Structure 1
Amino acid sequence: MSKVILVTGPCRSGKSEWAEMLAIQSKKPVVYIATATNNLDDKEWHERIEKHQKRRPPEWSTLEVPEDLPASLADATANTCVLIDSLGTWVANLLEEDESTWERIVEDFLDTVDLVAAQMIFVAEETGWGVIPAYPVGRIFRDRLGSLVRKLGTVSEDVYLVTGGHVLNLSLLGYPLPNSKS
């Protein structure tokens, strides 16, 4: 199984379930990194998190990592599978950062991904398939996530698109764009 896997697609497409199935297929101990934090004051958010928690096997260890994802990845050991769900929430957690700080965070993240010996499965949302947001923070989020997914896709051995109830392995069906690292 590939060292770096990216699973992407729209909301409620089954991305997380596919990523979880890939983690189970790895036959390795799984470390689940949740980038969301549970807010008990937000009932609907809490129910979403609970749904994800109930679906995961009890032997998986879970870490809540809302911001310092590179440090958590760097701690992963070679014999594990690390499932990160989701990059969209991680980007949202760091929207307060200015552009130069964000660029350093992304560079550190990608450098860490390159160095980690563990298998890593990343879940990421596709937010740029709709209208351009009318407000600045929405555009920043959409652009940062889109750019991050594109960059991670260039270093992923397998890239899956989950949509319309189907999974497509884009690594087998598609071709990488030239200059995708920019």
Structure 2
Amino acid sequence: MRLHRERRPLHWQLREPGRKLAECIRKEEPHQPLLIDALGGYTAAHLDLNDHAWTQEAEELIQSLLTRTCPTVIVIEETGWGVVPATVIGGLFRDRQGWLAQQLEQHAADSWLVVQGRALNLSQLGILVP
């Protein structure tokens, strides 16, 4: 974590909104670039919500992002490649994180997959699966 923070430019500002990511995004200047690193903590913080409340929360997040006029980069942990979670809460996290990633991708100008220091532009290389 220390190295990760040290690589950031000095002019970057850090926000740690916890559960209130949508509110934090709305408070940021829409004409300034924004990096959200990453969504796993946000998803985990809302595992106590029922499905309906989770969908509403995610929609609020998406709407806050749609108000932005400058690039927003969102890091999303890929959860579908690992083992099947052994616990109900682990499965819920995987399902919600994957669903949220799919919802956000529908609004993204580009989607990138970064693995082992290499980046692939999925918007150019991938075929959308219905």
State if a TM-score over 0.5 links the two structures: yes
* Pairwise CA distance, 1:60: 0.8
> Following TM superposition, where does structure 1 have runs of at least 4 consecutive aligned residues deviating by more than 6 angstroms?
none
* Partner residue of 2:24 out of 50, 56, 72: 72
Other structure's SS at 2:92 match: helix
Is 1:86 aligned with 2:38?
Answer: yes
State the distance in 2 between where 1:99 and 1:114 align: 22
Sequence identity, in percent? 35
Q: For CA contacts below 8 A with separation 6 or more, give which structure has more relative contact order.
A: 1
Q: TM-score, normalised by structure 1?
A: 0.67
Other structure's SS at 2:106 match: helix
Gaps of 5+ in 2: none
* Pairwise CA distance, 1:145: 0.2
Is 1:175 aligned with 2:119?
Answer: no
Instruction: Please name the residue that 1:110 is paired with.
Output: 62
* Partner residue of 2:94 out of 132, 142, 148: 142
Q: TM-score, normalised by structure 2?
A: 0.92
Instruction: Please name the residue that 1:99 is paired with.
Output: 51
Deviations 1:65-102 (A, max 9, x none): 11111111112223310000001121112212222211
Instruction: Please name the residue that 2:104 is paired with.
Output: 152
Instruction: Please name the residue that 1:7 is paired with.
Output: none
* Pairwise CA distance, 1:118: 3.1
The Cα RMSD (Å) is: 1.4
Gaps of 5+ in 1: 1-47
Contact 1:77/1:117 (<8 A) preserved = no
Residue type matched to 2:67 in 1? L
Instruction: Please name the residue that 2:74 is paired with.
Output: 122
Report the structure, 1 or 2, having the larger strand content.
1
